Amino acid sequence: MAYSTTIINFMITILISLILSSTISESYVHRSSSAPFKPNTLILPVMKDFKNNLFATTLHKRTPQIAVPLVLDLNGRILWLNCDDNYLSSTYRAPICHSVQCARAGAHSCHKCGSSPTPRPGCHNNTCSVIATNPITLKNSVSELALDVVTIRDFNGSSGSNASRRWATDPHFMFACAPSSLLQGPLQHGVRGIAGLGNTPVSLPVQLASRFGFRPEFALCLSPWGIEGTMLIGNIPPRMLPKIMFYTPLTVGAQGDYSIRIRSISINNKNVPFNTSLFSKTKGFGDTIISTTVYQTVMEHSIYKELTQFYVRELSRVPRAPAVPPYGLCFFIRAIWPTAIPDINLYFQNRNVRWRIRGYDSLFYVTREVACLRFVDGGTNVRAPITIGSHMLESTFVHFDLARSRFGKESSREASKGFLCRDLWT
Ligand SMILES: *[C@@H]1O[C@H](CO)[C@@H](O)[C@H](O)[C@H]1NC(C)=O
Ligand SMILES: *[C@@H]1O[C@H](CO)[C@@H](O)[C@H](O)[C@H]1NC(C)=O
Ligand SMILES: *[C@@H]1O[C@H](CO)[C@@H](O)[C@H](O)[C@H]1NC(C)=O
Ligand SMILES: *[C@@H]1O[C@H](CO)[C@@H](O)[C@H](O)[C@H]1NC(C)=O
């Protein structure tokens, strides 16, 4: 029951976006004849797909314009979409092999298409190839690098009836034109591809920053409820930031993926005494990945084991309940006051900077009686010692400041203190 209503909600949001897009296309056509508009900040809606716990945005693309729903992948290199499915656009271009655009996308090999005798989007000879990755199934696919028009709404700091009515146009937005097989997997019906937000020259935020000349930065507020969340791309005026933010250095991996460095973890304000000899393989907490395509936070087996053992000791008076996969540690929660659930803190390089997970926020309520710790044992073969899941990014303002290599988060999580987390879409 709950599932079908949430799916319906999601479909309604997509429908609304489609309706919106038809009203925009007029202003877009009108605007294209005047001087190009240079925005400071762009805004995109973010909807939650409750079935898969993924977050999707809608981009307005092509000529004639249509709304394209795409799942956000914080660590994705590029924006890719399914081109097999009737990609119709008079402004589609595929740069030729060894051109400047191909070099910028790191696409050094030439694309050949034998599958169809007539060229079509995604299928030309002598264009260039990029690898597109589905972050959920981890499948890769050779795709044609392509360019097309993208139109995104301007944000001038006002919402509601005072919201900016301008739209910014990138006539040559670069993306990967992938085969439909890459979309297979647990993606919401209607989703056409993945919007990569990684720190690469061709990701959505970095490409728009260089197109419009703003600082490479973006901010997210993911909404856990039926209201839409928000992504801002471009200059983020300080007055839009929540009053209290913490910042920690942001590291960028070889694939443009983001990580932060955790130094220690406390439960109930007591430092968890990890056996550091177990860390030789994982280099401590190493680089902790932040993800929008993994929902619950995943820990390498030995870290998970020590953390949960300590947690159990802190909650020794609360009876354990059988595990509810994927969660390994569950309790009969009736026996404890919500305020007595211990807080968990993640400490960064600077010990004064911590990511506080409130007790009630650290538990997933399976039933009214049983709740489980929201951490999942990832086994020994993990990409990173800790992957912070998107649940920890919900209802809070997070800021990826690529220009200053720092990650910022609103200190509290009591939703909607930050400007962005308010419902800007009504
Ligand atoms: C690409 O070239 C091959 C021959 O090398 C040809 O068979 C194929 O039809 C061409 N594809 C397109 C889309 O032009
Ligand atoms: C629009 O701006 C005016 C003047 O600043 C303000 O009084 C009004 O409340 C705003 N409306 C909305 C919907 O924010
Ligand atoms: C944003 O744009 C709208 C419509 O163009 C305007 O009414 C509003 O005052 C602007 N807000 C700011 C802060 O400039
Ligand atoms: C830490 O782990 C190593 C390897 O499993 C073990 O030999 C050692 O006794 C442990 N030390 C403590 C203090 O538990």
For residue 14, what pLDDT is reported? Answer: 44
Ligand 2 in reach of 162 Cβ (< 6 A) = yes
- Distance of alpha carbon 232 from alpha carbon 154, whole angstroms: 10
- Contact, 230 vs 152, CB < 8 A? no
Residues of the chain with CATH 2.40.70.10: 41-236, 241-425
Which of 201, 214, 200 minimizes the C-alpha distance to 168? 214
- Distance of alpha carbon 410 from alpha carbon 415, whole angstroms: 10
Ligand 4 in reach of 136 Cβ (< 6 A) = no
CATH superfamily, region 241-425: Acid Proteases (2.40.70.10)
CATH superfamily, region 41-236: Acid Proteases (2.40.70.10)
Task: Report the atom number in ligand 2 closest to the C-alpha of 161.
Answer: 13
**Residue 158: Cβ-neighbour burial (10 angstroms; 0-12, 13-18, 19+):** exposed
Ligand 2 in reach of 161 Cβ (< 6 A) = yes
Q: In tens digits, what is the pLDDT along the chain, a chain of 426 residues?
A: 344 444 444 444 444 444 344 333 333 333 444 567 889 999 999 999 998 999 999 999 999 999 999 999 999 999 999 998 889 999 999 999 999 999 999 999 999 998 778 899 999 999 999 999 999 999 999 999 999 999 999 998 887 888 889 999 999 999 999 999 999 988 888 899 999 999 999 999 999 999 999 999 999 989 887 778 899 999 987 777 887 889 999 999 999 999 999 889 999 999 998 877 666 555 667 789 999 999 999 999 989 999 999 999 999 989 999 999 999 999 999 878 888 899 999 999 888 889 999 998 899 999 999 999 999 999 988 888 899 999 999 988 899 999 999 999 987 665 444 455 665 554
The values of phi and psi at residue 234, to 5°, are 110, -165
For residue 400, what pLDDT is reported? Answer: 97
- Contact, 321 vs 335, CB < 8 A? no
CB within 8 Å of 298: residues ≥ 6 apart: 375, 376, 377, 378, 382, 386, 387, 389
Ligand 3 in reach of 159 Cβ (< 6 A) = no
Instruction: Give, in degrees to the nearest 5, the angle at Cα 246 between 245 and 252.
Output: 120
Ligand 2 in reach of 381 Cβ (< 6 A) = no
Distance 126 CA to ligand 1 centre (A): 9
Query: Which residue has a Cα nearest atom 14 of ligand 4?
Result: 275
Ligand 4 in reach of 426 Cβ (< 6 A) = no
What is the three-class DSSP state of 403? coil
For residue 161, what pLDDT is reported? Answer: 84
Quickly count: other Cβ atoms within 10 Å of residue 342's Cβ: 18
Query: Which residue has a Cα nearest atom 5 of ligand 3?
Result: 164
Task: Report the atom number in ligand 1 closest to the C-alpha of 114.
Answer: 8
For residue 47, what pLDDT is reported? Answer: 92
Distance 345 CA to ligand 4 centre (A): 24
Distance 162 CA to ligand 2 centre (A): 6
Task: Report the atom number in ligand 1 closest to the C-alpha of 119.
Answer: 13
For residue 105, what pLDDT is reported? Answer: 93
CB within 8 Å of 250: residues ≥ 6 apart: 258, 259, 260, 400, 401, 402, 405, 406, 407
Task: Report the atom number in ligand 4 closest to the C-alpha of 276.
Answer: 1
Max distance between CA atoms of the chain, in angstroms, equals: 71
- Distance of alpha carbon 312 from alpha carbon 322, whole angstroms: 14
For residue 281, what pLDDT is reported? Answer: 58
For residue 45, what pLDDT is reported? Answer: 92
Query: Which residue has a Cα nearest atom 2 of ligand 2?
Result: 162
Distance 275 CA to ligand 4 centre (A): 6
Distance 331 CA to ligand 4 centre (A): 28
The residue whose CB lies within 8 Å of the most ligand 3 atoms, and thus the one to mutate among 37, 156, 161, is: 156
Ligand 4 in reach of 118 Cβ (< 6 A) = no
Ligand 1 in reach of 115 Cβ (< 6 A) = no
Query: Which residue has a Cα nearest atom 3 of ligand 4?
Result: 277
Helix (H) / strand (E) containing 102: helix 100-104
The residue whose CB lies within 8 Å of the most ligand 1 atoms, and thus the one to mutate among 112, 115, 129, 177, is: 112
Which of 11, 111, 7 minimizes the C-alpha distance to 69? 11
- Contact, 370 vs 267, CB < 8 A? no
The residue whose CB lies within 8 Å of the most ligand 4 atoms, and thus the one to mutate among 277, 279, 309, is: 277
Ligand 3 in reach of 166 Cβ (< 6 A) = no
Torsional sign, CA 247, 252, 256, 260: negative
Distance of CA 344 to the CA centre of its chain: 23
Helix (H) / strand (E) containing 144: strand 140-154
Whether omega before 326 lies within 30 degrees of 0, making that bond cis, reads yes
Ligand 4 in reach of 278 Cβ (< 6 A) = yes
